Structure 1
Amino acid sequence: MTTDLGPGDYPLSVNRQDLLRTPTGKPLSALTMDAVVAGEITAEDLRIAPETLQLQATLAESVHRRQLAQNLRRAAELTAVPDAEVLAMYNALRPRASSRDQLITIAENLESKYHAPVCGALVREAAEVYERRDLLAREEDR
């Protein structure tokens, strides 16, 4: 994957279409109405590929949008996590929804099972912040 992207490459779908592929490996140019009608395009082809999100992160960094780049890197990692688990994590991250141990378990699962260290670090940070701000689940909240 190239890291030589800059503001002139945005939007990738116009200026660097050669870099974009579906999660199944099809080039972006293969996503046509004729291909849909012929049954050559599946729902998986319409999802965003983690590589595309990483490219978008590189573009964001090139214009000094570091927070956006981090968000895109987390999104790239989350493409490997089943939707139901993403929703469960989202609910677990609500204030007072989880204990510190539960959040650390989520972080460890992200890091080990899904190879998502950026997401894992965010959940660990949330556990620390929730603890400092008294936002962890209490016994009476469970």
Structure 2
Amino acid sequence: METLTKEHYPLGTKRPELLFTPTRKAYHELTLDAAIAGEITSADMRISPETLLLHAQISDSLGRTQLANNFRRAAELIRISDERILQIYNALRPNRSTKQELLAIARELEEEYGATENARLVREAADVYERRGRLKKLEE
């Protein structure tokens, strides 16, 4: 498999044959006519993890490491329900969770979803919150 670089961006123009939705519809199938005919559902309009990983490759080729990491984390999150993502987001807000609660979320991300990059980010947040005194205080 080839590694994509900045020359392949934008993918929709330069490499559309690589783009598929999570329902495996090809990029070229996502047309207004198809939508009017009822051949496209809302699930067809979502981005696939594979597409996000292609964007990560391009970002890496530009030296935009943080952006590439964001694309990789986003690709992992696609397998997680929107409801659970919002719960995790709220748990990551300062003073909302104990360190143990955040570490449990990191384990869940890794073990249930294979989301190792996101788990690493949650563990890092737990450590930073601990250093800065931003963890939830236990009732005494």
- Extract structure 1 runs of 4+ deviating beyond 6 A: none
Structure 1 residues 113, 35: CA separation in 2 closer, same or farther (over 3 Å shift)? same
Structure 1 residues 3, 87: CA separation in 2 closer, same or farther (over 3 Å shift)? farther
Residue pair 1:110, 1:117 contacting (<8 A) in 2 also: yes
TM-score, length basis structure 2: 0.96
Matches within 5 A, 1:40-79: 40-79=39-78
Q: Which runs of 5 or more residues in structure 1 are unaligned?
A: none
Distance in structure 2 (CA, Å) of the matches to 1:25 and 1:39: 16
| Per-residue deviation, residues 14-38 of structure 1 (Å, max 9, x unmatched) | 1110100011001100001111122
Specify the alignment match of 1:26 in structure 2. Answer: 25
Q: Give the count of matched residue pairs.
A: 139
Deviation at 1:3, TM superposition (A): 4.2
SS in 2 for 1:26: coil
Distance in structure 1 (CA, Å) of the matches to 2:125 and 2:56: 22
Moved more, 56-65 or 36-45: 36-45
| Per-residue deviation, residues 123-142 of structure 1 (Å, max 9, x unmatched) | 011111111111100125xx
Structure 1 residues 116, 3: CA separation in 2 closer, same or farther (over 3 Å shift)? farther
Specify the alignment match of 1:5 in structure 2. Answer: 4
Letter in 1 for 2:13: V
Distance in structure 2 (CA, Å) of the matches to 1:107 and 1:3: 32
Structure 1 residues 3, 106: CA separation in 2 closer, same or farther (over 3 Å shift)? farther
Letter in 2 for 1:62: S
Q: Percent of aligned pairs with the same residue?
A: 50
